[in-house]
Chains A and B, each alone.
Chain A
Amino acid sequence: MRRVAVVGAGMTAFGEHFGLGIKELLPMAVSEMAAHVDKGLNRDDIQAAWFGELTTSDGFPTGILADTCGLLDIPVTRVENACATGNDAVRNATYAVASGAFDVVLVVGADKVRESSARSTFWEWAGLTRDMAWDYPLGLVAPANFALHVARYLHESPATKEHLAMVAVKNHKHALPNPKAQLRYEITVEQALNAPVVVAPFNLYDCTPQSDGAAALLLVSEDVVERYTDRPVWVRGVGLGLDRVMHQHKKDMTTFPPTVKASKAAYAMAGIGPEDIDVAEVHDCFTGVELISYEDLGFAEKFGAYKLIENGVTSIGGAKPVNPSGGLKAKGHPPGATGVAQCVELFEQLRGEAANQVDGARTALAHNIGGPTAVSAVTILSSQRG
């Protein structure tokens, strides 16, 4: 397979974009990406596109992407893989380029969560991931899906609610310099612990906000990379992992097997291990999920995640900074856009251009988990061609 590089990246700010529809957000992200390609992008060069979106707000997704971004003459494929949609769109586009089928492709991720009434959003989104007869009527709100795991994790591991709060504090702090982040303010551990309960053990600051937004990447083959930049970021590994969809069928809820499978595949493809990762964007839709993911991604030993957050290992300045963008927690989480936006952040990190730069970052990892905990996608990017 041919090597694949990211040569352009862009995204809208994440937030409650009541004033912007999906038809505005998509061209905004694609145009920002195009404007940041070092040697320029002629849009006619784009040969195919992959569009990650969970729910559609204004109709037929691929048609909307093609129509609103001036891409009517190329094939567009929608990718939907729950909250792992973004990195799965990257994975599919990567294979298309690596295979030799295309040289220049577009990856876009977007979602418009704040488009329906707050009261109808829950049941609409629950329908995407719940068994209609058995689970749906129980009122398994999004935080509850993850809280079931984290409650058991807190029971079995030395980690406490204080450690959850530390994750929130860190990611809020990381978001401060990020102009694209939704929640740009600092919080304290005390504030997090005393915030209103959403789904115990999660308080308000343990949870991602609801967000709208779009993000875009340009992926090209090694054969044409020099046309676009002298400083490409290489897609070194991609992976996808799945698990049983119903919580009651998951044997050990202190881990997310999809993450283990996806990262194993991505590390193997990249020929590296977790110790080689300099910076990571990890799916912190809820604080405890970031902790469990440290272990599933191989950053910490089983039940050792609390040490990383306690000792500042995953803060900027630490040995393995996680979520320098602010993460889902503070940057925001429009599901289809999230994974693509993680790669936008890591593209900038690996080129030394990030708002919250990690010094000397050469290899990076992006991670999504969703469905709610039945699918994971991992992407490994590097400034090193490998």
Chain B
Amino acid sequence: MTTVTAVGTYLPPWGSARGRVLGPDEDAVTLAVAAARAALEQATTAGSATAPDVRRVVFVTRELPLLVGGNAAALLAGIGLPDDVPVVEQVGGGPAVFDTLGGAEAGTLVIGVDAAESGPVGAAAALVAAGDGAGVGVELVGRVVRSLPVLSRANGGGARDYSDARLERERGVGVAIERLDLTDKPVVVAGLPAKQARALCAGVPPTLPTTGASAALFAVAALAEVGGGGLVLAVEQGSATALRVDGVPAVRRDEPALLAPEKLTRTPGPDIAISLAAYERAFDAKLRWDAGACDACGTLALPPRRRCLNCGSEDGWSLTPLPRTGEVYTVVTVHVPVPGLPTPYSLAIVQLDGVDVRALVKVTGAPAGTVQIGDRGRLVLRRVAVRSGIPDYGYALYPDAATAADAGEGAVR
């Protein structure tokens, strides 16, 4: 028996009734970080004052940003985990997430992410309690692994759609569920269109925002709407995994109100250059949102620097976490086409709360030009640019106004 301490979810604001889509500064890593942070914040709120004990991260997605070069360090830094936590980068969908969660060791953080360009996208994460932590029990009921590749995507190739919904329904999901030989009806099913899921469930299941890896954990989170635990199913083409969840887990949702995607101009041009030497030097401070604190006088510097901005000491500095909220000191919006960057975009200098530090960042999650001087927001990890093929992560300002309209949904359930 595994105990789930908390579930966190994240949806980008952009999209339509058909589902959410990636912002121009998002990928599977930034989505994973947002969901994982929501889960860990919930675990901290629900449990002790100490940071949750995370011993292992399993990152399940079919949209790994890099196949060579690695996503794990960015993921750990963005979530705020030490760099000695093992990360499994797993290609998979909903059943793979349940396979992992059902047998997860104590302290495992399972993250499922859907980040296909075509959408729908979203991310959800579940933290498995370390030791005898509080939470809801989760147990693997059954699994069937079959092949019916109605949708396929080869390494480096484009996606193919065989396009036979009835075959998929009858010989894929239908046979898989039959083979599971379930004793009762599921309360939520991940991986199917709403209508199809409804036909399989006891009662009316909540509609899930995605159908891939994240959907399995969105299904667990949705038990709050069901009003209790039960059998939860994740299916994908010919395969399925069933999980029994013993109750309603603690859930924190980072799901801002829906916005129509911005009309962005993409201008081709030469690759944006990158210095990997500079990248490596900046990595920890830049992805963990840390300042350099002067060892002599404590003055904070972003980025960290050898010579203190205040006392001039060059004796050393230590990384120290920065506040993740602040107020806009000045802001501008770039409308001219910029090769390699989608336009328009807003750039802001943000005065961070409670410290004498300002940060120059892009604005995320709100249409360009809508943020004003004096507006407040929080700093979140985003993909600032892709430079010569390498995702360059950093922090962006997510204005509070953009999420305020949805405070009810964003609240703890």
Any B CB within 8 A of the CB of A184: no
Which residues of B sit under 8 angstroms from A137, Cβ to Cβ?
A: 272, 384-385, 387, 392, 394
Residues A196 and B335 in contact in the complex (CB < 8 Å), given A119-B269, A149-B330: yes
A281 to chain B, nearest CB (A): 26
* Number of chain A residues whose Cβ lies closer than 8 Å to a Cβ of chain B: 35
The winner among B275, B339, B387 for most chain A CB atoms within 10 A is B339
From known contacts A148-B349, A198-B335, infer whether A253 and B330 are also in contact, taking CB-CB under 8 Å: yes
Q: What chain B residues lie within 8 Å of A140 (beta carbons)?
A: 347, 360
- The closest CB in chain B to the CB of A120 belongs to B270
Which residues of chain B are near A131, meaning CB under 8 Å? Answer: 278, 303
In the complex, chain A residues whose CB is within 8 Å of the CB of B360: 134-135, 138, 140, 148, 246-248
CB contact under 8 A between A253 and B349, given known A134-B282, A148-B330, A200-B369: yes
Report B-chain residues with C-beta under 8 Å of the C-beta of A313: none
Over the window 342-358 of chain B, the binary record of Cβ atoms lying under 8 Å from chain A Cβ atoms (1 yes, 0 no) is 00010101000000011
The distance in angstroms between the C-alpha atoms of A139 and B362, with both chains bound, is 9
Q: Out of B282, B329, B333, which one reaches A253, CB within 8 Å? A: B329
B152 at the interface (CB under 8 A from A): no
A249 to B349, CA, bound (A): 10
> Is B279 touching A144 in the complex (CB atoms < 8 A)?
no
Q: Which residues of A contact B335 (CB under 8 A)?
A: 196-200
Contacts of B331 in A (CB 8 A): 148, 151
Nearest B residue to A127 via CB reads B273
**What are the residues of chain A within 8 A of B369 when measuring CB–CB?**
200
Kindly state whether residue A132 has any CB partner on chain B within 8 Å. Answer: yes
The verdict on B148 contacting chain A, using a C-beta distance below 8 Å, is no
Contact A151 B384 (CB under 8 A): no
CB neighbours (8 Å) of A119 from chain B are: 267-270, 339
Q: With both chains docked as a complex, state the minimum distance between the C-beta of A205 and any C-beta of chain B, in angstroms.
A: 14
B124-160 with Cβ < 8 A to chain A: none
Interface 0/1 of A316-342, CB less than 8 Å to B: 000000000000000000000000000
- Is B339 within 8 A of A122, CB to CB? yes
**Prevailing SS type, chain A contact patch:** helix
0/1 string, A149-160, CB within 8 A of B gives 1: 101100100000
User: Contacts A123-B272, A137-B392, A139-B338 known; A152 to B329 CB distance under 8 Å?
Assistant: yes
B73 within 8 A of A: no
**A1 is an interface residue with CB less than 8 A from chain B:** no
**Contact B333 A200, beta carbon cutoff 8 Å:** yes
B162 to chain A, nearest CB (A): 40
Complex: A123 Cα to B387 Cα, angstroms: 11
**Contact of A132 with B278 in the complex, beta carbons under 8 Å:** yes
B175 within 8 A of A: no
Q: Which residues of B contact A147 (CB under 8 A)?
A: 332
CA distance A21 to B339 in the complex (A): 25
Tell me, rounded to whole Å, the shortest Cβ–Cβ distance linking B135 to chain A.
Answer: 40
Residues in chain B near residue A143, CB distance under 8 A: 334, 336
Instruction: Identify B273's interface contact among A123, A149, A155, A199, CB under 8 A.
Output: A123
Distance A137 CA – B361 CA, assembled complex (angstroms): 10
Q: Are B279 and A133 in contact (CB under 8 A)?
A: yes
CB of A199 within 8 A of CB of B333, answer yes
In the bound complex, CA of A127 to CA of B269 (Å): 16
The CA-CA distance from A122 to B335 in the complex, in Å, is: 14
Interface: B281 (CB within 8 A): yes
Instruction: Tell whether A249 pairs with B309 under 8 Å between CB atoms, given A120-B270, A139-B385, A148-B332.
Output: yes
Rounded to whole angstroms, the CA-CA distance of A220 and B357 in the bound complex is 48
- Which one, A151, A246, A247, contacts B373 given CB within 8 A? A151
B341 sits at the interface (CB 8 A): yes
Q: Is A141 an interface residue (CB 8 A)?
A: yes
> Do residues B373 and A152 form an inter-chain contact, with CB atoms below 8 A?
yes
- B224 close to chain A: CB less than 8 A: no
In this assembly, does B359 line the interface, its C-beta being within 8 Å of a C-beta of chain A? yes
Residues of chain B within 8 A of A247, CB atoms compared:
349, 360
Inter-chain contact B279/A248, CB cutoff 8 Å = no
Which residues of chain B have C-beta atoms less than 8 A from A152's C-beta?
329-330, 373
Is A123 touching B339 in the complex (CB atoms < 8 A)? Answer: yes
For residue A312, CB closer than 8 A to chain B, the reply is no
| Residues A133 and B269 in contact in the complex (CB < 8 Å), given A122-B339, A199-B332 | no
A352 close to B (CB within 8 Å): no
Q: Which residue on A lies nearest to B393, using beta carbons?
A: A137
Q: Which residues of A contact B116 (CB under 8 A)?
A: none
**By CB atoms of chain B within 10 A, which of A127, A140, A151, A247 has the most?**
A151
**Top 4 nearest A-B pairs by Cβ distance?**
A133-B282, A137-B385, A119-B269, A147-B332
Q: Which residues of A contact B (CB under 8 A)?
A: 119-120, 122-123, 127, 131-141, 143-144, 147-149, 151-152, 155, 196-201, 246-249, 253
Q: List 8 A-B contacts (CB under 8 A).
A: A120-B269, A132-B278, A133-B278, A133-B279, A133-B303, A138-B362, A139-B385, A200-B335
